[in-house]
Structure 1
Amino acid sequence: MFTRLATRLAALLAVVALPLVGVSSAGAVENGPAPNGSNILGSGPYSVRTDGVSGWFVSGFGGGDIYRPSTGSNFGAVVFSPGFTATASMYSGLARRVASHGFVVLVIDTNTTLDQPDSRGRQILAGVDYLTRSWSGRSQIDTSRVAVAGHSMGGGGTLYAAENGGSNVKAAVALQPWHTDKTWYGVDVPTMIIGAQSDTIAPVSSHSERFYATLSGAPEKAYAELRLEDHLAANTDPDDQGALMVSWLKRYLDGDTRYSSVLCPLPSTVSSQLSEYRDTCPA
């Protein structure tokens, strides 16, 4: 606990001492067409294949499923953790959507479905290690471009992974996150938090909004609240949530500045489905 507190204090002091620097467009990857208020809402241009990952042949997490474009390479990668009692297959719609826009998505199964957020965060990082070092298809990804994501306790685990992943993690998206720890000053990657207005399991007032308020170390951050959606939004995969997640990953994992225009301001096709949105307006 002391070590973590010291790390967070150091990160907070660094933010005070140094100006925030936006993500450079140098080396940006543009996979797919330019975004607009319509095409970000649905599936992307890539056909998607799915590969199972057996828990018998990996270390640190329980296996899972990989969703990836059927052809092509130089894709960014995303490692996603399920929520409490959930399994990888319950996020197939969301994972397939993200992959269709030009990402390789590993949805892990956790060691047990009862694992707590920090354990899920460590398992996300084990998934990052597997995807970038051991996976037989890793030539399809740029191993320097990896994001972490998750839902519910997996969303809390996402914040843990973002804070502890070091240079291995470039961006984070937490969906309806749940965690008993409310302070995340040490997160130093662009981070989006998506809460749900009608969530009674992880109410935004005690989870998503409080997490967002402490992301002072993140170079960019955004908070979206899905109108009338509940805690299972990551499972039902509404279009506005998918559009936000894809746009964040495009902008901060791929460095695709074309997506700045659909994050700030949001197109009406997305903003009309939200009860709240705030961000630091990406450059």
Structure 2
Amino acid sequence: MAALVAVGLGTALTPGAQAADNPYERGPAPTTASIEASRGSYAVSQTTVSSLSVSGFGGGTIYYPTSTADGTFGAIAISPGYTASQSSIAWLGPRLASQGFVVFTIDTLTTLDQPDSRGRQLLAALDHLTQRSTVRTRIDSSRLGVMGHSMGGGGTLEAAKSRPSLQAAIPLTGWNLDKSWPELRTPTLVVGADGDTIAPVSSHSEPFYTSLPSSLDKAYLELNNASHFTPNSSNTTIAKYSISWLKRFIDNDTRFEQFLCPLPRPSLTIEEYRGNCPHTS
């Protein structure tokens, strides 16, 4: 009996046993410092995708963990906003990829594309990533997410509506004429800014969030002392909660639940945070 207990304890404490519990878990156990850091534990490489080599979107840049030792990774496509290019969201590429994701920051077909078009382009970018890109063998095609800024944030909601199999969606100061999203089935973190005068939270981010079904894993983060364009620059608060949300729902990594539940309290960088806890997916 003692020998069996010893064997059982040995098995329980091995990394392999933990990996078997959650085969999608990637990277070391997180800390506040690790998710607030400008880079995670993975070295990152990148490759440029020409608009001439793709259809349905405008090309972009893929950021990915350099090593393949941990197997495949979840993937995220990110859209810029109105009149903007991928350079406006480029900081998210290496920041998220270094935490253990393949990240595709895209250009859109035109800088004036509306949210419904940007949503279709995000899905086209994910399809390219998983089916034709040079890093497709590094990706778990069942574990995908979308993000976007402004009209790209509105496009994030459109993409999640069109493809319920997506594991996570994060609209950043999103803009969309459609305010109601009760049909979404993708865990969604809505990020707004208290000083946004282009997509005010009262008419965009807040109604987006409140319209999501109560049964959905969802959260609303309103940035304090922030503007519509805050997501265009490196931002620790956006990164911290985006990483936690993506890890929790794309990787099903419950080690990140601690940063989402109990709900974060207002602070120098958080005006308000709402959500349903504990998360279930």
Do these two structures clear the TM 0.5 threshold for a shared fold by scoring above it?
A: yes
Q: Deviations over 1:53-102 (max 9, x none)?
A: 01111110010111111112311000111100111122121221111100
**Unaligned runs of at least 5 residues, structure 1:** 1-24
Sort the Cα spacing of 1:218 and 1:181 in 2 relative to 1 into closer, same or farther, 3 A.
farther
- Which of structure 1's runs of 4+ aligned residues deviate more than 3 A? 25-28
2:90 is paired with a residue whose SS is helix
Mapped partners of 2:259, 2:154: distance in 1: 26
2:227 is paired with a residue whose SS is coil
Q: 1:148 aligns to what?
A: 146
Equivalent residues in 2 for 1:1-283 (5 A)?
27-42=22-37, 43-72=39-68, 73-167=71-165, 169-216=166-213, 219-265=216-262, 271-281=267-277, 282-283=279-280
Larger Rg over CA atoms: 2
**Unaligned runs of at least 5 residues, structure 2:** 1-19
State the shift of 1:27 in Å.
3.8
Instruction: Give the CA RMSD over aligned residues.
Output: 1.7
Mapped partners of 1:154, 1:210: distance in 2: 17
- Tell me which amino acid in the other structure corresponds to 1:117: P
Query: What TM-score results when the alignment is normalised by the length of structure 2?
Result: 0.87
The 8 Å contact of residues 264 and 273 in structure 2, kept in 1 or not, is answered as no
Mapped partners of 1:114, 1:30: distance in 2: 38
State the shift of 1:265 in Å.
2.2
1:78 is paired with a residue whose SS is strand
State the shift of 1:28 in Å.
4.7
The 8 Å contact of residues 187 and 218 in structure 1, kept in 2 or not, is answered as no
State the shift of 1:219 in Å.
2.3
State the shift of 1:120 in Å.
0.3
Q: Deviations over 1:182-241 (max 9, x none)?
A: 011111110001101111111111100010011117620000011101111211121011
1:29 is paired with a residue whose SS is coil
2:31 is paired with a residue whose SS is coil
Sort the Cα spacing of 1:246 and 1:239 in 2 relative to 1 into closer, same or farther, 3 A.
same
- Tell me which amino acid in the other structure corresponds to 1:280: N
Fraction of identical pairs, as percent: 50
1:248 is paired with a residue whose SS is helix
Query: What TM-score results when the alignment is normalised by the length of structure 1?
Result: 0.87
The 8 Å contact of residues 149 and 172 in structure 2, kept in 1 or not, is answered as yes
The 8 Å contact of residues 173 and 191 in structure 1, kept in 2 or not, is answered as yes
The 8 Å contact of residues 164 and 184 in structure 2, kept in 1 or not, is answered as no
Mapped partners of 1:163, 1:116: distance in 2: 15
Q: Deviations over 1:15-53 (max 9, x none)?
A: xxxxxxxxxx96452212222222211121111111100
- Tell me which amino acid in the other structure corresponds to 2:115: P
Q: Deviations over 1:114-139 (max 9, x none)?
A: 00010000111111111111112111
The 8 Å contact of residues 79 and 108 in structure 2, kept in 1 or not, is answered as yes
1:205 is paired with a residue whose SS is coil
Q: Which has the higher contact order (CA 8 A, sep 6+)?
A: 1
The number of residue pairs the alignment matches comes to 257
Sort the Cα spacing of 1:278 and 1:111 in 2 relative to 1 into closer, same or farther, 3 A.
same
1:187 is paired with a residue whose SS is coil
